[in-house]
Amino acid sequence: MHKEKRKILLSWFVVLLGSGGLIWMSLERWMGEEGEVFPSRVINIICPYSAGGGTDLFARSLARTAEAELDQTIMVQNITGGGGAVGFASGLIAPADGYTVTAVTFELVSLPIQGLVPFEPNDFDLLLRVNQDPGALAVRADTPLDSLEEFVAWARERGGVSIGNSGPGSVWHLAAALMADRLNIPVTFVPFNGSAPAITALVGGHVDAVVVGPGELLPQVEAGLVKILAVMSEERLSFVPDTPTFEELGYDVVFGTWRGLAVPRGVPEAAREKLTFAFREAMESEDFIEMARRGALNLSYADAARFRDDVQTQSADVEQLMERLGLK
């Protein structure tokens, strides 16, 4: 009997303590809303891709270094699905108070053009661009093709090459299409579910070539399994300094993906500036640069204005390409 009573008392205690905690938490939140200097609580970065991927690593490393600048915890949340669409959409509907930042990527441009999502790049206020990765054309190392010229000649002679890419309408599909157009070679596009399976198929000899990010190819290049023939950047890349660009070789192929940060429209100017400054500083920290070097992340800063211009130019290009590919 006595034991039973104690149990009931204990239960009451737990319930009261628990509900007290709830009330205290909500009171604190209501009190804390006004008159605070940004940032006064945890900042979230929405990463629209799954944990462990390139964009996730980029967001997490940046968050780690920017925490010191902002003197606040920064959490990365992976809200994935729809090739990034779900994450972008939840970044847009988040309150425009600067506490939710979205990691934006090339897909912000391509998804709306494909007609798959109900938003457009202009719904975001872009903060800064951190990285730009060009496309890279790679073939198996044991093929006798050593230059882009030989590749073009070989492709024309055979009447076609199969080129693997990371998915229908993905940045590397479009890059391959742009390249095929400018090089004037017949191509069979073979979409895979991401870059890694495409590279695997290349190594296994199931496709003739791939167009993917150079960082993703690095392990295989170093292992001597594949070779990169050319990259789609304006200048040569630091980690493959001997590989020419398409431009050097006389083809106007400059294309690639990028990563940056954005907030929904309507975030107060002061908060936006503070965030931009903090992430800009983080980008220049030694830790982050070292991380980027190891992950073969090609750093390329652009401020909000330049970032927006670039995105708009790219939008027009992508729209044309998609139309030609029948993806629109």
Which of positions 7-26 make contact with another protein (CB under 8 A)?
A: 7-8, 10-12, 14-15, 18-19, 21-23, 25-26
Q: How far is CA 160 from CA 86, 87, 153, 174, 189, in A?
A: 37, 38, 10, 18, 10
User: Which of 69, 247 has the CB closer to another protein?
Assistant: 69
Q: Which parts of 70-89 interact with another protein (CB under 8 A)?
A: 75-83, 85-86, 89
- C-alpha angle 79/82/85, rounded to 5°? 65
Query: Facing residues of 137 across strands?
Result: 211, 230
Site string for another protein, 169-208 (x = CB under 8 A): x------------------x-xxxx--xx-xxx-xxxxx-
Query: Using CB under 8 A, which of 50, 238, 312, 313 touches another protein?
Result: 50
CB 260 within 8 Å of CB 309: no
Q: Pick from 43, 60, 243, 321: which binds another protein (CB under 8 A)?
A: 60
Residue 191 half-sphere exposure toward CB, CA atoms < 13 A:
12
Q: How far is the CB of 254 from another protein (least distance, A)?
A: 24
- Write down the number of H helices and E strands in the chain: 11, 11
Query: What is the closest distance, in whole angstroms, from the C-beta atom of residue 150 to another protein in the complex?
Result: 23
Closest alpha carbon to 55 in 70, 77, 73, 74? 77
- CB 65, CB 282: distance < 8 Å: yes
The interface with another protein within residues 94-123 (CB under 8 A) comprises: 114, 116-117
Which tokens in the block code for residue 184? 């004037």
User: Is residue 41 within the footprint of another protein (CB under 8 A)?
Assistant: no
**What residues between 124 and 143 interact with another protein by CB under 8 A?**
none
Q: For the sheet with 161-165, list strands across it.
A: 187-191, 161-165, 209-212, 136-140, 226-231
Say how many CA atoms lie within 13 Å of 114 toward its Cβ: 18
Beta-bridge partner residues of 165: 191
Binding pattern for the stretch 220-259 against another protein, x by CB under 8 A and - elsewhere: x-xxxx----------------------------------
Question: Minimal distance in Å, beta carbon 17 to another protein?
Answer: 8
Residue 266 as a binder of another protein (CB under 8 A): the answer is no
Closer residue to another protein (CB): 9 or 270: 9
Q: Specify whether the CB–CB gap between 154 and 145 falls below 8 A.
A: yes
| Residue (79 or 230) nearer to another protein, CB | 79
Among 6, 51, 95, 303, contact with another protein (rule: CB under 8 A):
51
Q: Over the Cα atoms of the chain, what is R_g? A: 24
CB under 8 Å to 310, separation ≥6 — which residues? 129, 258, 302
| Binder of another protein out of 38, 56, 129, 174 (CB under 8 A) | 56
Q: Give least dist CB 188 to another protein, A.
A: 6
Site for another protein contains 159 (CB under 8 A): no
Candidate residues 219, 312, 313, 316; the one interacting with another protein per rule CB under 8 A: 219
Q: How many other C-beta atoms lie within 10 A of the C-beta of residue 68?
A: 13
**In sequence order, what are the beta bridge partners of 187?**
161
The stretch near another protein (CB under 8 A) out of 51-59, 129-137, 148-156, 249-257 is: 51-59
Residue 65 binds another protein (CB under 8 A): no
